[in-house]
Amino acid sequence: MKSLQDTDMPLFRPVRYVLTDVDDTLTTHGKLYPETLQALWDLHDAEYIIILVTGGSAGWADTYLRQWPIDAVISESGALAYYMNEGKRDVLYHPSIIRSGYKERADRFIALVRSKIPESKLSSDQFCRLFDIAFDHHDERPYMSQEGIDAIKKLCQSEGLSYGVSSIHVNCWFGTYDKLSMVDLFMGQRYGLSPDEIRRESIYCGDSANDIPLFKSFPLSVGVGSVSSASLAAEDRPVFCAEKEGGAGFVEMAKVLLDI
């Protein structure tokens, strides 16, 4: 990974769209600090279009969209995108989602995980998730063991669910989507961009394993400082890495863009 401090800033000149994860990328130990929120406002005022891409719930996504200077939130690992359309919140669902009978399928899988993995627990915001089952592994104590995380992943594989592991959750879902496929679908419909244009005009910032599809796809991908200690193979890492972790690392990236 290349240091942001040694980056030739003209490389970033075509960027119009700033895509970023939320937990442990904008936040630091679960908190959004003033300088990170200010960086979002500074990017917004400089006419960058900001899109959050998160495994977080639809409930959090609605709050972010209404309170932060952003254009859209792709949430629940790509299940849906919330955006403002003529002053009203609109939504795009990924077409692979089968809504009929979802609750029954989700309840069955949750019961299976709980029966096989006693230490497992749902995320505290599970009640406001629409199409995502999130098991907490490092958000609220007691934390889950690596064995527990691996066991949930194996159950997803055996039961035909997709999954992603963020810095705090194991996200499980029914559907053939991920963060990257929803980025392409949403930005194609919202802004009329081809996948090549999306990659040429966007930068992505993240921190963990569920960001790998975007790290690998975007020529301008940035990891906050904690990504250097994440267990990512060399080919899965972002192109650039900030020195600082969490929101402070995002601020480093924002300064590069604002200095162009």
What mean pLDDT, rounded, does the chain reach?
95
Question: 40 by DSSP, 3-state: which?
Answer: helix
- The domains of the chain are located at 2-94+178-258, 102-173
pLDDT digit string, tens, across residues 180-219: 999 999 999 999 999 999 999 999 999 988 899 999 999 9
Burial 154-165 (b: 16+ CB within 10 A, else e): ebbeeeebbbbb
Q: What is the 3 state secondary structure string of 64-97? A: HHHHCCCCEEEEHHHCEEEEEECCEEEEEECCCC
Q: Count H helices and E strands in the chain, helices first.
A: 8, 12
CATH number for region 102-173: 3.90.1070
171 closest CA partner among 205, 208, 206: 208
For the residues 221-249, what does the mean pLDDT come to?
A: 92
**Distances from the Cα of 14 to the Cα of 53, 169, 192, 198, angstroms:** 20, 34, 17, 11
* CB contact set of 6 (below 8 Å; sequence gap of 6+): none
* Banded model confidence at residue 175, pLDDT cuts 50, 70, 90: very high
Residue 7 has pLDDT above 80, yes or no: no
For the residues 232-246, what does the mean pLDDT come to?
A: 94
| Class of CATH domain 2-94+178-258 | alpha beta
**Distances from the Cα of 137 to the Cα of 6, 27, 94, 149, 170, angstroms:** 35, 17, 26, 7, 7
Cα–Cα dist 29/156, whole Å: 28
pLDDT (0 to 100) of residue 9: 73
pTM: 0.94
Residue 5 has pLDDT above 90, yes or no: no
Residue whose tokens read 């690992």: 77
Q: Are strands 49-53 and 162-165 parallel, antiparallel or unpaired?
A: unpaired
Cα–Cα dist 57/55, whole Å: 7
Residue 8 has pLDDT above 90, yes or no: no
Q: Which tokens sit at 8?
A: 């030739």
